């Protein structure tokens, strides 16, 4: 009788899941920590915050669900076919694009002169879009089926719309 097969996931697998939740948790924590700041427009009555924050929560939630579904999809032994180059491309998009973008947007939101951050934000945005397109067109275009494509679209579109809402809050 054969021993039961257990899925063993490395720390790196769970690190990618942790990194998926880091931006929304960090943003929510920072938002709560600064809730008394007048720049946020925090009100005592519902809806408490400007509409852009609600849009960020909604679309960021959609992106997170897409990311979790994609993460789970690739933990299925039938769908573990992710190359090292693909993992590196995704890490570059997230690490060299997403993290600097988060920091720049947060700094711009609190700056008295957010226009100073506009060019760096656009540069990082262009880099991030190129990195995401590279990942999607080089690694996913031919390989992904309908299910995985849906997860990627939820992730990318959700993050894009959440970013647009945040950008609107800062620069409107």
20 in Cβ contact with 71 (< 8 Å): yes
Q: Which of 8-17, 113-122, 127-136 has the lowest mean pLDDT?
A: 8-17
pLDDT confidence band for 53 (50 / 70 / 90): very high
In this structure, the dihedral spanned by the alpha carbons of residues 155, 159, 162 and 166, taken in order and rounded to 10 degrees, is 170
Number of structural domains in the chain: 1
Phi and psi, residue 81, nearest 5°:
-85, 60
Give domain status of residue 138, yes or no: yes
Given CA atoms 54, 55, 58, 63 in this order, what sign does their dihedral have? negative
Q: Is 33 contained in some domain?
A: no
pTM for the model stands at 0.85
Q: Name the percent of the chain lying above pLDDT 70.
A: 91
Predicted confidence band of residue 54 (pLDDT cuts 50, 70, 90): very high
- Segments forming the whole domain that contains residue 157: 51-171
- Predicted pLDDT at 5: 46
The pLDDT value given to residue 44: 86
Highest mean pLDDT among 40-44, 80-84, 122-126, 135-139: 122-126
**Mean pLDDT score, 103-112:** 95
Q: What is the mean pLDDT of the chain?
A: 87
CA distance linking residue 104 with residue 109, whole number of Å: 9
pLDDT higher than threshold 50 for residue 13: yes
Average confidence (pLDDT) over 15-36: 87
> Do the beta carbons of residue 84 and residue 18 sit within 8 Å?
no
For residues 64-93, give the mean pLDDT: 82
CA–CA separation, 68 and 61 (whole Å) = 10
State residue 92's pLDDT score: 82
């Amino acid at each position: 009788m054969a021993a039961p097969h257990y899925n063993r996931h490395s720390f790196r697998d769970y690190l990618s899941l942790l990194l998926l939740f880091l931006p929304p948790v960090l943003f929510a924590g920072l938002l709560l920590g600064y809730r008394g700041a007048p720049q946020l427009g925090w009100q005592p009555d519902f809806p408490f915050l400007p509409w852009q924050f609600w849009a960020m929560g909604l679309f960021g939630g959609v992106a997170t669900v897409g990311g979790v579904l994609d993460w789970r999809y690739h933990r299925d032994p039938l769908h573990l076919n992710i190359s090292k180059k693909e993992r590196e491309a995704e890490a570059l998009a997230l690490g060299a694009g997403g993290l600097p973008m988060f920091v720049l947007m947060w700094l711009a939101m609190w700056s008295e002169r957010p226009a100073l951050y506009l060019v760096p934000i656009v540069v990082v945005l262009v880099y991030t879009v190129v990195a995401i397109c590279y990942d999607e067109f080089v690694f996913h275009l031919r390989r992904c089926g309908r299910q995985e494509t849906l997860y990627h679209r939820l992730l990318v579109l959700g993050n894009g719309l959440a970013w647009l809402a945040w950008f609107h809050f800062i620069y409107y």
